[in-house]
Amino acid sequence: MIYKRNMKKHLNKIVRKFDTTDKSRYNYILNQSERSTHLQFIDWKRFLKTINQEDFFYYPNTSTFKEKISNHKYFNVNENEIFLCAGSDVGIKSIFETFTDGGRVVTTEPSFPMFKVYSELYQCEYFGIPYEKDYTISVEKILSNITNDTDLIILANPNSPMGEYKSFDEIIPILEQGVPVLIDEAYVEFTHEESFIQYINEYPNLIVTRTFSKGYAAAGCRVGLVISNKKNIEMISKFRQMYEIAGVSMKYCEFFLDNHGIIEDYWKDVVDEKSKLLYQLRGLEIIDTRTNWIHFNTDDDNKKTKEIFAKHKVLVKWGTIPHDNRKHWCRMTIQPGLGNEPFIQELIDAY
């Protein structure tokens, strides 16, 4: 029997990586902006009481969850302006499926890796705008690279990995180009800045993605949102999965919407802790961000840092940053109380 291969040929050039990190081997999980401090025991018990066996038996009905999102002061949108998805990356994929047709995708470089992956999957021209030396992104360079065949503009705000936040007034010239503009607000909860959600009906080309993974401490639940005007959501929803998220995941996120003070306290504690750490680690070369992580390095390219972190089983992200030749910059997620941990004091003493 001869097997005739009908696979799309361009897929052979796309490289996907699997994260095989066993986080159970580490004492501190500080590499992916997840929450790693436990909820208070009383809050955890209150959540567990909301779960029943039917949440596992039956397909989830998401209507109540969407209603809670739409009525919540932090979102304040209509239900028909919400697209629910299994993580914001799935929402971004649906946006690619809806709006791109092989044209140009303009974004920042580096940024969230899936922007490039989806561009390659849907055979778009990926065009990344590099960071300036002060780690900002030039709006003028974005505008000058919007072509007649540009399908989509993507801006993470705050961006990743450098953590710059752009105000709505800065973004207006981009929105006025009439091209679909995706603002990915994965880390907006840590900024004390406005969300672009409030402008979705003022600018019909504006699409906002949000996630429950970072600020809402639910990365394992895989719950995300696409928020835009009714017409856009109607089109994006044609790519909706049969059942968007798991019932238990929905219950966990509902619990935080109903008890939002728990989450708001977490945001404040993270921001306050970051301020303390910036002072504690002032002897190091630090790049602050408008997110829940910092970058830092040393004259020995974090050689001693890596030894200390290995000793204490601290999981962080090592890599490069724009405009610097050192290979081992540390990107470390901030958690409440982190500055009191012994490996931080050892790091201070080492440098």
Q: How confident is the model over 9-56, as pLDDT tens digits?
A: 899 999 898 999 999 999 999 999 999 999 999 999 999 999 999 999
* Residue 171 belongs to domain spanning: 58-259
Is 173 a domain residue?
yes
* Average pLDDT across the chain, whole number: 96
Q: Could you tell me if 282 and 149 lie in one domain? A: no
Q: Could you tell me if 237 and 225 lie in one domain? A: yes
Q: Could you tell me if 117 and 233 lie in one domain? A: yes
The residues near 212 (Cβ < 8 Å, ≥ 6 apart) are 218, 221, 223, 224, 253, 256
Q: Which two tokens stand for residue 297?
A: 């390095």
Q: Could you tell me if 252 and 278 lie in one domain? A: no
Q: Could you tell me if 203 and 266 lie in one domain? A: no
pLDDT at 156 over 70: yes
Is 149 a domain residue?
yes
pTM: 0.95
Look at residues 259, 275, 307 and tell me which one is the last residue of a structural domain.
259
Helices (H) and strands (E) in the chain, counts: 12, 13
pLDDT at 5 over 80: no
106: β partners:
127, 153
Q: Could you tell me if 219 and 161 lie in one domain? A: yes
What is the distance between the alpha carbons of residues 175 and 68, in angstroms, rounded to a whole number?
29
The residues near 68 (Cβ < 8 Å, ≥ 6 apart) are 254, 257, 258
Q: Could you tell me if 208 and 266 lie in one domain? A: no
Looking at residue 6, its pLDDT comes to 77
Q: Which two tokens stand for residue 324?
A: 């610097």
Is 53 a domain residue?
no
With bands split at pLDDT 50, 70 and 90, how would you rate the model's confidence at 3?
A: low
For the chain, what is the domain count? 2
Look at residues 259, 292, 326 and tell me which one is the last residue of a structural domain.
259
Is 301 a domain residue?
yes
Is 145 a domain residue?
yes
Q: Which two tokens stand for residue 39?
A: 């909820």
Q: Could you tell me if 106 and 255 lie in one domain? A: yes
Q: Could you tell me if 195 and 112 lie in one domain? A: yes
Is 13 a domain residue?
yes
CATH of the domain at 340: 3.90.1150.10
Q: Could you tell me if 308 and 339 lie in one domain? A: yes
pLDDT at 107 over 80: yes
Is 306 a domain residue?
yes
CATH of the domain at 84: 3.40.640.10
Mean pLDDT of 212-221: 97
The residues near 94 (Cβ < 8 Å, ≥ 6 apart) are 83, 85, 226, 236, 239, 240
Looking at residue 7, its pLDDT comes to 84
C-alpha dihedral (77, 81, 87, 92), degrees to nearest 10: -130
Q: Could you tell me if 28 and 77 lie in one domain? A: no
Look at residues 259, 289, 317 and tell me which one is the last residue of a structural domain.
259
Is 1 a domain residue?
no
3-state SS assignment for residue 150: strand
Looking at residue 137, its pLDDT comes to 97
pLDDT at 2 over 80: no
Q: How far is CA 28 from the centre of its chain?
A: 20
Q: Could you tell me if 265 and 217 lie in one domain? A: no
With bands split at pLDDT 50, 70 and 90, how would you rate the model's confidence at 344?
A: very high
What is the distance between the alpha carbons of residues 342 and 340, in angstroms, rounded to a whole number?
6
